[in-house]
């Protein structure tokens, strides 16, 4: 490998990037937009679930239960329905996310020590929200049921009664359960994939499609020099984006960075090389830019978005997909970045993931160089 020749290709590629300020602006804008969207708009933390109640009893007890719902920040009561049809209508028109039906014999059942049935209606079309909402309702009714039981018990016996179990919930590493604290570290993987793989997947095939590759092949350039020189500028852009993401995370969203930022940078550089290698491999294999784009979306972006554990927990996936996720480099960088950001752990724990990233980097870049043929078809 000859350094000056690699340098020449590097400079040529820099000129390509510079001459296209539109793409360059997009590449810098994209992480910013993603960060803003995820940081401000996208969360699973549902608060203020709109609640409608059809209270068929209207007793002191049923009012008390409704008050318990209003007392949490999770529900906001939008309407008291006067009939079942009205409740149905409120849900169908999406004015209320959940409808609660309190039976006419609620107090009576309680006084005679029987079980009252409370119905909760949700629109299952959006099953995830429905699931979370039903969980919230359970979170109100379960303690309430226990409270009623204790009251019954107190009415019987003289002694003060405590709840048998006192559960203390501890959320480690992300005490306030902020969505953005786990999304921002994971976003690094997605942004780097978009920037790295999409851009490099075009670099070689573009020259092929435009016909300028012939000129390059007539030079004494070795293929290693050509490909590595082409990767250089994109590596710098990728790392620059990484710095933007880290800075926005720190100053705008106050995501705690508990581990070493140097280690984070070093390991994400490794991931970037792996991603660039994947892009390069695609570029070498594709016949035109459209194909390259489709392939890059399919084999780099989609797995990085879905199978990396960035938003969607890996252990909830079916087993075959869990196994596939081991082949996705983004998975390791998400583990690393969440570990460094939130848990503050270092290489002592993270070395297997780091090793996998290094292996992926060598593998993809090596394969791309091997597959590239310096001749005209």
Partner 1 sequence: MLRRLRHIMHKEFIQVWRDRKLRFFLIVPPLVQLIAYGYVINFDIKHVATAVFDESCTMESRDLIKRFCSTDWFEVKYYLNSRKELLDLIDHDRITMAVWVQWDFAKQLRQGKSGKIQVIVDATDSNAALIVSRYASTVIGDYSQEQLQARFQRQGAQWAGKRSTPLILEPRAWFNPNLISRYSMVPGVIAMVVLLQSLMLTALAVVREKEIGTLEQILVTPIRPLELMLGKTIPFVLISLGNVVLVTIVGVLWFEVPFRGNILVLLLGTCAFLFNSVGLGLLISTISSTQQQAMMAGNLFLTPAILLCGLIFPIANMPIFFQYLTLLNPLRYFIIVSQGIFLKGAGLALLWKEMVSMTALGLIMLALAVLRFRRHVA
- Least separation in angstroms between residue 179's CB and partner 1 is 5
CB atoms within 10 A of CB 353: 21
Chain residues 132-171 in contact with partner 1, contact rule CB under 8 A:
132, 134-135, 137-139, 141-146, 148-150, 152-153, 156-157, 159, 161-171
* Residues in 342-371 at the binding interface with partner 1, rule: CB under 8 A: 342-343, 345, 349
Residue 224, interface with partner 1 (CB under 8 A)?
Answer: no
Q: Of the listed pieces 77-85, 204-212, 265-273, 276-284, which binds partner 1 according to CB under 8 A?
A: 204-212
| Stretch of residues binding partner 1 (CB under 8 A), selected from 73-81, 242-250, 289-297, 360-368 | 289-297
Q: For residues 42 and 45, give the distance between their C-alpha atoms in angstroms, rounded to a whole number.
A: 9
Helix (H) or strand (E) segment spanning residue 102: strand 98-102
60 contributes a contact to partner 1 by CB under 8 A:
no
Looking at residue 186, the DSSP 8-state letter turns out to be: H
CA distance readout (Å), 297 to 25, 188, 193, 198:
20, 17, 10, 8
- By CB under 8 A, tell whether 309 contacts partner 1: yes
Distance between CA 281 and CA 359 in Å, rounded? 15
Task: Give one DSSP letter per residue of 44-83, joined into a string.
Answer: ----SEEEEEEESS--HHHHHHHHHHHHSTTEEEEEE-SS
Please identify, using beta-carbon distances, which residue of 180 and 246 lies nearer to partner 1.
180
Task: Tell me: does residue 59 bind partner 1 (CB under 8 A).
Answer: no
189: contact with partner 1 by CB under 8 A: no
Taking CB under 8 A as the criterion, which residues in 81-110 touch partner 1?
91, 97, 106, 109-110
Distance of closest approach, residue 1 Cβ to partner 1, in angstroms = 28
Near partner 1 by CB under 8 A, which window of 66-74, 199-207, 225-233, 357-365? 199-207
Query: With binding defined as CB under 8 A, does residue 328 bind partner 1?
Result: no
Q: CB nearer to partner 1: give 46 or 239.
A: 46
Contact predicate 86/113, CB 8 Å = no
Distance CA 231, CA 280 (A): 8
Exposure string of 34-61, with b = 16+ CB inside 10 Å and e = fewer, is bbeebbeeeeeeeeebbbbbbbebebeb
Q: Tell me whether residue 6 or residue 50 sits nearer to partner 1 (CB atom).
A: 50
């Amino acid at each position: 490998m000859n350094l000056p020749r690699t340098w020449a290709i590097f400079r040529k590629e820099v000129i390509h990037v510079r001459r296209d300020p539109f793409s360059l602006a997009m590449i810098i804008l994209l992480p910013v937009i993603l960060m803003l969207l995820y940081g401000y708009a996208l969360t699973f933390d549902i608060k203020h679930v709109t609640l409608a109640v059809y209270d068929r009893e209207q007793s002191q007890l049923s009012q008390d239960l409704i008050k318990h719902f209003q007392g949490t920040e999770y529900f906001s009561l939008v309407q008291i329905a006067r009939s079942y049809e009205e409740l149905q209508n409120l849900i169908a028109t999406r004015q209320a996310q959940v409808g609660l039906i309190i039976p006419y014999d609620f107090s009576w059942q309680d006084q005679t020590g029987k079980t009252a049935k409370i119905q909760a209606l949700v629109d299952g079309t959006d099953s995830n929200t429905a699931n979370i909402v039903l969980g919230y309702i359970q979170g109100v009714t379960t303690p309430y049921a226990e409270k009623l039981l204790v009251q019954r018990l107190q009415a019987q016996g003289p002694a003060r009664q405590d709840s048998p179990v006192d559960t203390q919930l501890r959320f480690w590493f992300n005490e306030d359960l902020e969505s953005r604290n786990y999304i921002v570290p994971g976003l690094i993987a997605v942004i780097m994939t978009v920037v790295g793989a999409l851009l490099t997947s075009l670099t070689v095939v573009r020259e092929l499609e435009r016909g300028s590759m012939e000129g390059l092949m007539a030079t004494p350039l070795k293929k290693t020099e050509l490909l590595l020189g082409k990767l250089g500028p994109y590596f710098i852009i990728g790392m620059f984006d990484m710095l933007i993401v880290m800075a926005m995370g720190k100053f705008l969203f106050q995501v705690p960075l508990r581990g070493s930022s140097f280690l984070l940078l070093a390991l994400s550089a490794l991931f970037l090389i792996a991603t660039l290698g994947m892009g390069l491999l695609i570029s070498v294999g594709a016949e035109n830019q459209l194909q390259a784009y489709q392939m890059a979306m399919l084999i780099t972006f989609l797995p990085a978005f879905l199978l990396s554990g960035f938003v969607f927990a890996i252990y909830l996936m079916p087993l075959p997909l869990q196994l596939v996720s081991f082949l996705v480099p983004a998975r390791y960088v998400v583990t690393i970045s969440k570990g460094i950001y939130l848990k503050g752990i270092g290489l002592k724990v993270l070395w297997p993931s780091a090793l996998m990233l290094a292996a992926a980097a060598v593998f993809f870049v090596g394969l791309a160089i091997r597959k590239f043929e310096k001749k005209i078809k």
